[in-house]
């Protein structure tokens, strides 16, 4: 029977995902950084390319870019925190209370993954619109006489929609962390007289923090550069930093400035992640 040694097996399994990652992730980032140092716009060639900081100077000198980046960062932080607060009870229920029905409830949690992202966002657009479900219900029970226009095309609508989108994603790493907790720890704590609240605060919460922080970064990092949801439910009043980048790559056809804005966002986001991991030592929290 044909067999491979461990080294050959390792490279067979290791190379395909690494090539995929390099071609579809690393290479586009390098290309974007290359564009950001060009003085040209959409017609960038290797022959005429000369490195310049012109685009970065334009980004630094424009205060509106920084205000929008700060707003987007604050929105991403809010969305990540609220998503974790809402998904933690779901993960806790699946891990400790669902019993034999845990797999069924997990499938229900994953149902949104089976539908298009755009369809899920558009569903909220229909719910929050002037003729949507929320306005119709409020009018039916007599709370309002005319549809509320403030429910849609603003940053609040973007936050609500993105929280809904990210709850299934943030639940999974928290659930994985909770499922790794040894049940005998709760039994030992109960034998020593610990109340359920103390068991949660001293055992469950500390041991689940790696999953909580993984969920936080899973939500926070992509949300900073989000542009699809603000475009659909935010309108002009709900624009985020990603919408400015999209405009430079599409409407303005200024790839160099769009690339510089993207690199600035990427660097600042990575710096925030590095600072957060330095300030919060998960090993110390668990101990």
Return all residues near 126 (Cβ < 8 A) that are at least 6 apart. 132, 133
Q: Read out DSSP for 190-225?
A: HHTT--HHHHIIIIIHHHHHHHHHHHHHHHHHHHHT
Report how far residue 162's alpha carbon sits from residue 219's, in angstroms, rounded to the nearest whole number.
9
Both tokens assigned to 215? 């969920």
pLDDT of res. 47: 65
Three-class SS state of 49: coil
Return all residues near 135 (Cβ < 8 A) that are at least 6 apart. 129, 144, 147, 148, 151
Residue ranges of the chain with per-residue pLDDT less than 70: 1-4, 41-48, 280-287
What is the per-residue pLDDT across 16-35, written as a single tens digit (0 to 9) for each? 899 999 999 899 999 889 88
Report how far residue 10's alpha carbon sits from residue 215's, in angstroms, rounded to the nearest whole number.
29
Contact 152, 69 (CB under 8 A): no
Residue ranges and CATH numbers for the domains of the chain are 69-286 (1.10.3720.10)
pLDDT of res. 278: 79
Contact 194, 114 (CB under 8 A): no
pLDDT of res. 51: 82
Let me know if 257 is exposed, middle or buried by CB neighbors in 10 A (0-12, 13-18, 19+): buried
Question: What residue has token string 């950084």?
Answer: 33
Both tokens assigned to 197? 């609240």
């Amino acid at each position: 029977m044909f067999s491979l040694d461990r080294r050959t097996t390792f490279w067979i399994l290791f190379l395909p995902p690494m090539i995929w990652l390099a071609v579809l992730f690393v290479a586009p980032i390098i290309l974007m950084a290359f564009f950001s140092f060009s003085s040209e716009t959409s017609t960038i060639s290797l022959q005429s390319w000369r490195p310049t900081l012109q685009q970065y100077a334009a980004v630094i000198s424009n205060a509106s870019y920084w205000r929008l980046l700060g707003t987007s960062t604050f929105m991403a932080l809010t969305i990540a925190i609220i998503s974790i607060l809402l998904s933690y009870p779901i993960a806790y229920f699946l891990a400790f209370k669902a019993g034999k029905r845990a797999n069924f409830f997990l499938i229900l949690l994953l149902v949104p993954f089976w539908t298009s992202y755009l369809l899920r966002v558009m569903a909220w657009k229909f719910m929050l619109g002037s003729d949507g479900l929320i306005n119709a219900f409020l009018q039916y029970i007599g709370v309002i006489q005319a549809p509320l226009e403030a429910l849609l095309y603003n940053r609040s609508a973007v936050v609500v929609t993105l929280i809904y989108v990210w709850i299934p994603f943030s639940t999974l790493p928290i659930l994985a962390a909770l499922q790794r907790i040894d049940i005998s720890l709760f039994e030992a704590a109960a034998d020593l007289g610990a109340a359920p609240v103390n068991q949660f605060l001293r055992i469950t919460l500390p041991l689940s923090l790696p999953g909580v922080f993984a969920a936080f970064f899973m939500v926070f990092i992509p949300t900073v550069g989000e542009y699809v949801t603000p475009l659909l439910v935010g309108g002009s009043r709900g624009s985020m930093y990603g919408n400015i980048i999209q405009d430079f790559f599409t409407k303005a056809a200024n790839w160099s400035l769009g690339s510089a804005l993207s690199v600035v966002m990427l660097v600042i986001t990575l710096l925030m992640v590095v600072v957060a991991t330095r300030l919060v030592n998960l090993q110390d929290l668990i101990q």
